[in-house]
Amino acid sequence: MSEYKALIGLEMHCEISETNTKVFSSAENSYKDTANVNIQPVDMGFPGTLPVVNKEAVKMALKASMILGCTLPTHIYFERKNYYYPDLPKGYQITQETKPAPVGSYGALTYDCKGETKTVRINNIHLEEDAASSDHYGTFSTIDYNRAGVPLLELVTEPDFRSADEAVSFLETMRSIYQYAGISEADSRKGQVRCDVNVSIMEADKDENDPKNWGTKIEVKNVNSFGGVREAINYEIERQIDLKESGKYDEMEQQTRRWDEDTMSTIFMRSKVDAIDYKYFVEPNIPKFKLSEEWLESIRKEIPELASDRKHKYITIFGLSEYDATVIVKEKSISDFYEDVVALGADAKKAANWLTSVILGYLNKNDLTITEIYLTPKMLYEIMNLVESGKISSKQSKDILTHVLEDKKDPIQLVKELGMEQISDDKTIREIVIKVLDEHPDLIEDHRKGKNTFDFFVGQVMKATRGKANPSLTADIIREEIDKR
Amino acid sequence: MEYMSKSITELHELLQNGKVTSEELVNEAIKKAKEAKDKYNAFVTVIEDAKGCEVTDSLLSGIPYGIKDNYSTKDILSTGSSNTLKDYIPFFDATAVINLKKAGAVGIGKTTMDEFGMGGTGTTAHTGNILNPWNTERMCAGSSSGSAAAVAAGVVPYATGTDTGDSIRKPAAYCGIVGYKPTYGMISRYGVFPFASSLDHLGVLARNVEDACIVVDAMKGLDKNDMTSWDSSGIELHKSLTTDVKGKKICYIKEICDKSMYPDASDELLEHLDNFRNTLEYFKELGVDVVEESVDKNLLDAQYSVYNVISCAEATSNMSNLTGIVFGPRAIGDNYIDMMKKYRTEGFSSLIKRRFVIGSYVLQAENKERYFNNAQRVRRLIVDKWKSLYEKYDAVVLPVSSGPAKYLDNSKNKPYQNSHILEEHLQIANFGGFPSITIPNGFVNNLPVGINITGNCYDDVNVLSLACALESKMSYKNQIAKEAK
């Protein structure tokens, strides 16, 4: 690789999941396990049906465009991309592929990749409709039109990534933006995120700003997970380097390949000369409409705090480590949970510690999301308070949390049920301490000689109280009683 | 007693006074429709179970009418006169059909048309040629051929039509009746099979101007399913209609009407042009200022090509939903490509396939600028020219076609030089979305001929009033085809 560098560009398709209805149809926009239930006649291309633009989808697309710093169009209009496929019932897709139609042109996004700040130029972001989904079996195929007409944002980057790591870090950042801005769940498991990857290689010491030095561009379609993007890029880079080294690179024509999950390789689909002519033209059924400054301003105001804003806040105001802040903002639902706990009055650092050290581990282990567990921000706050006020020990608090998660019970109730209320009464503890010291005069001597017998005394008190004695109070009393002797 | 040759207002009065029942009218219309189906191929489907309905204050209530077969009618066969949809029964009504139902109108049959509206001869329907009731050797023109034949033959007082180039207004002229298409978007296109969306209009064929107003008043209105529809609730065509047109100003175009333009004109054409000049005298008697205008011949000569390019391009895309996958008689094939190919190859007439080839050709990346984009530019130039005329004139008045109905046997038709513009100029109203009406203005060779009045967008009342005033000066109002009597 050192002899070569890769130029990588992405086309990221992300379904907008947060509108009530589809982008040009009044059918419900939601993920359904049952096929063909979210359908209106227009979604199946019945004769005479017409598209009606969903303003909410346009709004979300404009929001994404603003976040990416893109130039906004003066008018919104759409065009048709014409091709035949059974999952495309109208025989064309309504999109905004060619300029100047897209909701956003020429923006940029900075993102972190392994601690380094990188910038990628955005060529454009546009709003379009998704196709139906088809499944192919031996002798027949099935089509599910639930997905037909679901709003889709296609984001096209310039070839600014130099590695699979950069491309994947960018995708993770975009996913977070879509989640934070309330545009999409961006869940690849639901097929909401799909990518096409463009990869070419060139000699490492040449100037990448001069197109003459660029290699042959290979497009890889149909990459449906971030892991797949990483694998596909690395596979392509290696494949292209192999061709260079075996002297066959110059024979390679510009082409489209597809990523095959089963063989973990890219497979030739078509060469550039066989590229489909999509015969774009402006969709005549949707009148061009002018974007008003007022509307754009109101959309701009709706852009919420994004992951990068929150991360900055967590580090500079809450005093979290870069690592903890990064971990917490990664998923919006976790960051929202954290924000709620802090808003209730919890100590920001301690709350972060709870999340990163205990709760996230539990979620990962059980493959759950934070919204799926019984624990609420209020419960975590209560557990933290119980420790803070000395009612339970920190060790006990971990047990309480486990019980909350597994038994689905409230922490305060659990403390009572489990008899965990900590003994913080001076008189009770002092009586036990005196009894323990009386039983071990030799160990008091050892302590005075510098041997560590102190922990033994604490342990004995804990044993006698079945762990309920307030540990710091116990330590104070032991010290006092030893000094008295 | 026969009622179906009467006007809507006459029938309404008879119904309200209890002289006749809706049931009786419907039965008469069904009987006559069956005859017209056999005799002229005017109907694809006669709705034999149509029932009379309650008579209200709505002028259309209880009165039968014909529906062009490209209007979706719930539970009633809607073929668009195409083999590709020969068994298609929609599960929803077109908005215009719903609106007419609300007004109490009773649909009694689906009228035959050129396949999907893509023809001007009435010879491309899957059920065969449509014959002119005045003379069955002659054509009705198209594409609303069956609607024109049915109305002219006195089967129904009116029938709906669609008009992409002249498909309402030319058949009306050939059949000696009134054909009106209002301003683009006044009537929702939802549920009507598209031909070329930016040019497609709905409208009506009737036997007098007043009836045409009454019908369009019922059909029109803002529709949430059609983004190009607009709120015309402030416009009441029938109520606003007046024959007082004194002081209005109209023009005709020298390059289209002048006999000197057609050096090899037949007697029919010369007679037609003379008749047009004579009709202008009626306008003068009405106190209308009639002015001869001149338009660049190059612009006029480009008009027909512009229409061809745009209409074929949009049609190719609009009809890409016809694959037999979702609806229509699915073809048998080894894979989806074979299935689609077979369905389309066997289903479409050769005329339509020819237009699809043109449409695809002009949209191809390498041709698009030269053909499609230039056609859009010239369309704009022509519309701008007409808009500039409307700054000075209330309407542009021109003869329809180059004479009376042509022979179905094309070898009997004599072509002339330069006759394109005379045959095709009605398309200019589709370019601009202008309200346009054709009314009968006499006979040539014992066959009716027509005159067209076209005004500026949203100026329908003005156009209709000019037509109504002119109609009152002539004796062709409510005429029924003679051979049919």
Looking at the structure, tell me whether residues A220 and A336 fall in a common domain: no
- Tokens 């006007």 label which residue? B7
| pLDDT grade for B485, boundaries at 50, 70 and 90 | very low
Q: Are residues A256 and A370 located together in one domain of the fold? A: no
Q: Shortest CB distance from B326 goes to which of A45, A48, A92?
A: A45
Instruction: Find the Cα–Cα–Cα–Cα dihedral A435, A441, A444, A449, rounded to 10°.
Output: 180
A413, A320: one domain? yes
Q: Do B227 and A46 touch (CB under 8 A)?
A: no
Contact criterion met (CB < 8 Å) for B326 and A46: yes
Residues of chain B positioned with their CB less than 8 A from the CB of A27: none
User: A213 and A340: one domain?
Assistant: no
A267 and A287 in a single domain? The answer is yes
* Token output for B12: 């309404």
Contact A91 B317 (CB under 8 A): yes
pLDDT digits over A262-284, tens only? 999 999 999 987 888 999 999 99
Taking the CA of residue B438 and the nearest CA in chain A, the distance in Å comes to 26
Task: State yes or no: pLDDT of B484 exceeds 60.
Answer: no
Q: Per-residue pLDDT tens for B122-139? A: 999 999 999 999 999 999
* Contact between residue B385 and residue B299 where contact means Cβ atoms under 8 Å apart: yes
Name, in order, each residue with C-beta under 8 angstroms of A464's C-beta and a sequence gap of 6 or more: A432, A435, A436
The answer on pLDDT for B96 being more than 80 is yes
Active site (annotated) includes residue B167: yes
- Tokens 């289209």 appear where? B256
CA distance B61 to A199: 67
d(CA B266, nearest CA chain A) in Å: 40
Q: Could you tell me whether strands A265-271 and A141-144 are parallel, antiparallel, or unpaired per DSSP bridges?
A: unpaired
Task: Give chain A positions within 8 Å (CB) of B70.
Answer: 48
Closest residue of chain B to A286, computed from CA coordinates: B227
Annotation says B74 is catalytic:
no
Convert the pLDDT of each residue in A154-202 to its tens digit.
999 999 999 999 999 999 999 999 999 999 999 988 889 999 999 999 9
Average pLDDT, chain B: 96
| Element at B211 (helix H, strand E) | helix B209-219
- The nearest CA of chain A is from the CA of B225 a distance in Å of 6
pLDDT of A344 higher than 90: yes
Please answer yes or no on whether A44 and B326 come within 8 Å at the CB atom.
yes
Q: A102-122 pLDDT, tens per residue?
A: 989 999 999 999 989 999 999
Q: Which of B22, B82, B143, B402 is catalytic?
A: B143
- Find which of B190, B366, B369 to mutate to test the A interface (most A CBs within 10 Å of its CB): B190
Model pLDDT for residues A454-468, shown as the tens digit of each residue: 889 889 888 888 778
* Interface contact flag, B336 A85, Cβ < 8 Å: yes
| Residue B267 CB contacts under 8 Å (≥ 6 apart), including other chains | none
The boundaries of the domain holding residue A122 are 4-296
- B277-295 pLDDT, tens digit per residue, is 999 999 999 999 999 999 9
Q: State how beta strands A151-157 and A4-15 pair.
A: antiparallel
A344 and A285 share one domain? no
Hey, are the CB atoms on A47 and B372 less than 8 Å from each other? no
Last residue of a domain, one of A372, A394, A417: A417
CB-CB under 8 Å, A45 with B228: no
Express as a percent the part of chain A with pLDDT over 70: 99
My answer on whether A358 and A268 are in the same domain is no
* Three-state SS at B126: coil
Across B219-316, the runs of DSSP E, i.e. the strands, are: 249-253, 289-293
Is A288 within 8 Å of chain B by CB? no
| CATH classification at residue A455 | 1.10.10.410
Nearest one of B311, B88, B324 to A84, comparing CA atoms:
B324
Predicted confidence (pLDDT) per residue in A427-438, tens digit: 888 999 999 889
What does the DSSP assignment read for A56-120?
Answer: HHHHHHHHHHHHTTPBPPSEE--EEEE---TT-TTSEEEE--STT-SSEEEEEEEEEETTEEEEE
What percent of chain B clears pLDDT 70, i.e. is strictly above it? 99
Q: Clarify whether residues A45 and A115 are in a common domain.
A: yes
A219-250 pLDDT, tens digit each: 999 899 999 999 999 999 999 999 999 999 99
Average pLDDT on B264-274 reads 93
Q: Are residues A179 and A126 in the same domain?
A: yes
Torsion of CA A78, A82, A84, A87, to 10 degrees: -10
Please report which helix (H) or strand (E) contains residue B62, including its range: none
Structural domains in chain A (count): 3
Q: Which of A368, A391, A417 is the last residue of a domain?
A: A417
pTM equals 0.90
pLDDT of residue A189: 84
Using the predicted structure, report yes or no on whether residue B483 has a pLDDT greater than 70: no
B233 pLDDT higher than 90: yes
Residue range B106-125, pLDDT digits in tens:
999 999 999 999 999 999 99
- At A100, the pLDDT band (50, 70, 90 cuts) reads low
Top-ranked range on mean pLDDT: pick from A31-45, A86-100, B145-159: B145-159
Contact with chain B for residue A48, Cβ under 8 A: yes
Distance from CA of A156 to the nearest CA of B (A): 21
Burial of B373 (0-12, 13-18, 19+ CB in 10 A): middle
**Of A390, A417, A444, which closes a domain?**
A417
Residues A88, A235, single domain; the answer is yes
Residue with more model confidence, B82 or A138? B82
- Considering the domain architecture, whether residues A288 and A396 belong to the same structural domain is answered as no
Looking at the structure, do residues A207 and A92 belong to the same domain, yes or no?
Answer: yes
Number of neighbouring beta carbons within 10 Å of residue B300: 22
The superfamily in CATH containing domain B1-485 is Amidase signature (AS) domain (3.90.1300.10)
Q: Choose from A22, A281, A283 for mutation: most chain B CBs within 10 A.
A: A281
With an 8 Å Cβ cutoff, are B325 and A51 in contact?
no
Kindly give the pairing relationship between strand B249-253 and strand B289-293. parallel
Residue B424's SS3 state is: helix
Annotation says B266 is catalytic:
no
